[in-house]
Amino acid sequence: METSDTLYKYRTWSDKNHQSCLKNNELFFASPSDINDPFDFKISLDYRLLDTDEKKEQYVDKLLNDIKHVMKKDIDFEAERRELINRIKNDPDQMEREYQSSNSKAMDLRSGVISLSERWDSILMWTHYAEGHKGFCIGLNRKKLLLISRK
């Protein structure tokens, strides 16, 4: 299937933020928690897969290494490591819930999502996203969007 050079965004004219697309050449990227589908951006870790002490320790070491740049400088790294390993061993479900919560918040802070269509003439999209056919649809250059997204 051939891809179009243009992608489309359906908008409602009654929303001032949507008008900014045309008036100010602005696009809004929603945070992942604002997306309709409750399963989008909810890629979870299954702590049950950490079924050996070695895997638990490797996981904690990687986790601490990934977040060391935001940890307090005076923190006792070894004590924190032992605490996390014990928590994973004793209550992996609670650790998984805590990870999900903090990961979801971090995703909201660093990610934005925009939904686009390859079709400007979708009756369903006009109905749902363009105020029942009273809104508007803008065309966006796919290549320019990809360049912007890499910045």
106 shares its domain with 62: yes
Structural domains in the chain (count)? 2
In a domain, 1, yes or no: no
103 shares its domain with 87: yes
Dist CA 138 CA 21 (whole Å): 8
75 shares its domain with 51: yes
pTM for the structure as a whole = 0.64
Structure confidence by residue, pLDDT tens digits, 11-23? 999 998 899 988 9
Structure confidence by residue, pLDDT tens digits, 45-55? 788 888 999 99
Dist CA 118 CA 145 (whole Å): 13
DSSP assignment letter at 14: T
Name the residue range of residue 124's domain: 6-28+114-149
Question: CA dist 35 to 2, 28, 52, 108, 113, Å?
Answer: 28, 13, 36, 11, 8
In a domain, 55, yes or no: yes
**At residue 143, what is the residue type?**
K
Contact 138, 130 (CB under 8 A): no
77 shares its domain with 95: yes
In a domain, 36, yes or no: no
103 shares its domain with 122: no
